[in-house]
């Protein structure tokens, strides 16, 4: 019995240490330069429905069910989706628009797990067009942050961001 309790105590101690040292916050972002004027790029990006044309998640489930609340391109607009196991169930709400600078949204995931993230699309004028930066950040609450030791959010989502931005570039430069 003593050996069992000692082993159990050691396992609990290791788990507590892992929870305490595991990262709690994440931030993933990618950028691309688009050969088009900044106002044109931003005008396209501020409409969440346009993401259906370049979002990698729409490709993962072209048959996802979507519903919309509010006026697209304005604060308060909500896009809700229900899809396959690759996209899950969630919604995206426009929280803030800084014209020709930044679109901020809140992503709320309901399935396969519950979480919230702050997402953004930022545009900057550069010599050869417009730099678009797409990113999101959030916080994993304890004890679930321990999973971040085994999952690299940048590797898990970064390639999807790269793919989406490449498709966005094709659309806006054609």
For residue range 2-60, list pLDDT tens digits in order. 788 788 777 777 777 766 666 677 788 999 999 999 999 999 999 999 999 999 988 88
Q: What number does CATH give the domain 2-173? A: 3.30.530.20
Per-residue pLDDT, averaged over 148-155, amounts to 68
| Residue 143, pLDDT above cutoff 80 | no
Q: What is the reported pLDDT for 84?
A: 93
Q: What is the reported pLDDT for 14?
A: 73
Q: What is the reported pLDDT for 149?
A: 61
Q: Where are the domains of the chain?
A: 2-173
Q: What is the reported pLDDT for 11?
A: 79
Bigger pLDDT: 150 vs 132: 132
100 vs 22: CA distance, rounded Å: 37
Q: Percentage of residues in the chain with pLDDT exceeding 70?
A: 89
Question: What is the model's pTM?
Answer: 0.83
């Amino acid at each position: 019995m003593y050996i069992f309790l000692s082993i159990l105590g050691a396992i609990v101690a290791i788990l507590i240490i892992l929870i305490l040292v595991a990262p709690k916050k994440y931030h993933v972002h990618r950028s691309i330069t688009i050969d088009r004027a900044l106002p044109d790029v931003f005008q396209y990006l501020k409409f969440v429905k346009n993401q259906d044309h370049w979002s990698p998640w729409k490709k993962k489930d072209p048959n996802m069910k979507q519903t919309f609340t509010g006026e697209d391109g304005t604060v308060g607009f909500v896009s809700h989706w229900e899809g396959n196991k690759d996209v899950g169930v969630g919604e995206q709400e426009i929280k803030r628009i800084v014209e020709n600078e930044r679109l901020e949204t809140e992503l709320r995931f309901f399935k396969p797990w519950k979480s919230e993230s702050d997402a953004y699309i930022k545009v900057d004028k550069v010599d050869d067009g417009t730099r678009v930066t797409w990113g999101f950040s959030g916080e994993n609450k304890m004890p679930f942050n321990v999973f971040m030791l085994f999952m690299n959010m940048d590797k898990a989502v970064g390639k999807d961001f790269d793919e989406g931005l490449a498709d966005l570039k094709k659309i806006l430069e054609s």
